[in-house]
A and B are shown apart, each in its own frame.
Chain A
Amino acid sequence: MLSLHKDSFYSLFKQHEFYLSLLIALLILGLSVATEDFMTLGNIFDMTVSSAILGIMACGLFVVLIAGGIDISFPAIAAIGQYLMATFVLANGGNFAIAFAIAALTGIALGMVNAVLVYKLKAPAIIITIAMLNVYFGLLIYFSNGEWLYGFPDWFMDGVEVLRFTASDGYDYGLNLPMMTLLAVIALTSILMNKTRIGRQIYAMGGNSDAASRIGINGFGLNLFVYGYMGAMAGIAAVVQTQITQSVAPNSLMGFELTVLAAVVLGGTSMSGGKGTLLGVILGVVLLAVLKNGLTLLGVPSYWHTVVTGLIILISISMTALNEKQQAKQVA
């Protein structure tokens, strides 16, 4: 029974990612024909940088969702990490290693607070993290007075760039800070979820937490880990966002939680845990990024962007649900 179940998951999710890739390929093909700018190096760079924060946070939320949890509070966690990091950098200088460390450690600490509450109170994670979103964000604005921070040192403003080269269009390109961070985070998450014991345990816990605890998996420890990981990702994304926008506004990430959730579930990650792949999540992020970029290049008014995004989400999740239903019928 278990193996049958597992096989149907795999064929199903291969399907989901297959259709998602097909959709993205069609979009890219259409956009390359319809617009001159889409397939340029410059545009692809811009697209990657502007979706880096979404991608980094999506990696974190993916891990939490696989574990069978959910986190709504991460934009507030990111904002707190960002604020502490910026305050430190403005007062003492430093370098990117210190900046990332401060924001990520703040995120880990606050994420672990979530984990303790979710695990010990046995209440739905969505409720606990909505409550904590209010607590974190309310306290941040109260103590920071909602003040903006800017005027960072030069090393922060300039960022980091490696592998710089001049393309045929005459512009300089290279891997910049947002891109390198995004790639590093994806690599880290991929190794974590596919190659390590802890990753397997996260899948197991999300699939069936009772069975997981019976075979000796430490549920509390894993909870600390996944919410801490989400917090770390939130903190890392916060540093990247500060570097891109060159300023800190305490409320700039608010409301972002549902966008990230949309990207992750678009990629086929199940809300009930245990099912989903990182590849799917990346495809979900890519789909949203290509869609937004394509509509802009086509000169579609920005009013339409949300409508189209909403429609794509509705269609995609409906197809997944119908697929699952059929699969369930076949198994029965």
Chain B
Amino acid sequence: MNTLKLPTDRNIRYLLMILAAIMALMAFSLGGTFFSLTNLQSMSSQLPLLGIFALAMAVCMLTGGINLSIIATTNACSLVMASIITLAPDSSLMLMAALAAGLVTAVIVGLANGFLIAYIGVSPILATLGMMTFINGLNVLVSGGSVISGFPDALLLLGNGDILGVPMPLIFFALFAIGLWVILEHTPLGRAIYLIGSNEKASRFSGINTQKSLVYVYIISSILCWLAAIIMMAKFNSAKAGYGESYLLVAILASVLGGINPDGGFGRIIGIFLALLVLQALESGLNLLGVSSYLTMALWGGILIVFIALQKYKS
């Protein structure tokens, strides 16, 4: 396993270098404003949502797959939860039922994706593209394309509250990231995920149940979407088909910037975390400087290209 991790450690060095450069630039141009408590808090409440999507994408990419249906899944979960909650907004029992129903929705989507990919043999990009279209359609069909809002405070607290000044979403993100890290680096499933990404055939012949492992991977990815759904509902105080679509490609971008090899087999959670810091610091800093968010978008893409070029020319 150690040899597997080595290549990404260089990525982590690069990410730290890029991060330091951005921090220095921001300190120089913005001074204290960038490092003010307000900005740090706003950064740490924005980062988790993209972070969870990146994790949902990354866990599939580690096996050499991809999950294009993450945003559609998230919206499906939030619509299911929202429509149950709004039946009786004051009942805590209903809230529990809603959260459970959202989780069930996520698991069903994950199972379907995993089954198509592992057992039918559809390529992940196609299976999840089809699933994305299908679920997007269902989302609009079920909700009639309208916004569902009116959630109890208990739910809103999950997305907007804080513990000792640390935003709740960040705490959730940390918990799930650590959970995923434990799964990836300290369980047989994690070992299987890295091995499938390196060489699926060899893993199968060495006795790993690759099909079952792949199904688990897509279920894990979906469960992360369920968490994203809760945070998104609380943040926007509403649910609607079509929310968050711009996150799809950015999640891929963040995963790759974090050192996840899209062909599978390599990459660590810590790298994704650093990549998120880079993207978020750049976005918040440029925002404070009054730079257009579209220029930030272009810079994100540019940084990814530079990052890939750096990797290429050092090796």
A contacts, CB < 8 Å to B: 72, 117, 120-124, 126-128, 130-139, 141-142, 146, 255, 258, 261-262, 265, 271-272, 303-311, 313-314, 317-318, 320-322, 324-325
Contact = CB atoms under 8 A, between A and B. Distances in A.
Contact of A310 (B125, B136, B145, B263): B136
Q: Is the interface of B mostly helix, strand, loop or mixed?
A: helix
Contact of B135 (A123, A126, A310, A325): A310
A122 B312 contact: yes
A135 B302 contact: yes
Given A121-B312, A134-B300, A127 B252 contact: yes
Q: Is the interface of A mostly helix, strand, loop or mixed?
A: helix
B295 A124 contact: no
Interface in B271-315: 292, 294-302, 304-305, 308-309, 312
Nearest to A301: B141
15 contacts: A120-B312, A121-B309, A126-B262, A130-B252, A134-B249, A139-B298, A141-B292, A258-B129, A262-B129, A306-B136, A307-B141, A310-B131, A314-B127, A317-B122, A318-B122
B126 A265 contact: yes
A328 to B, nearest CB: 9
A314 B116 contact: yes
A271 B263 contact: no
Contact of A127 (B125, B130, B302, B308): B308
A136 B108 CA distance: 37
Contact of B263 (A124, A138, A262, A308): A124
Interface string B232-257: 00000000000001000110110010
Interface residues of B, number: 47
Given A127-B252, A310-B134, A138 B305 contact: no
Contacts of A117: 305
Contacts of A258: 68, 129, 132-133
A136 B138 CA distance: 32
Contacts of A130: 249, 252-253, 301
Contacts of A317: 122, 126-127, 130
Nearest to B262: A124
A123 B131 CA distance: 26
B140 interface: yes
Contacts of B207: none
Contact of A306 (B68, B133, B304): B133
Contacts of B130: 262, 310, 313-314, 317
A255 to B, nearest CB: 7
B137 A309 contact: yes
A135 B133 contact: no
B123 interface: yes
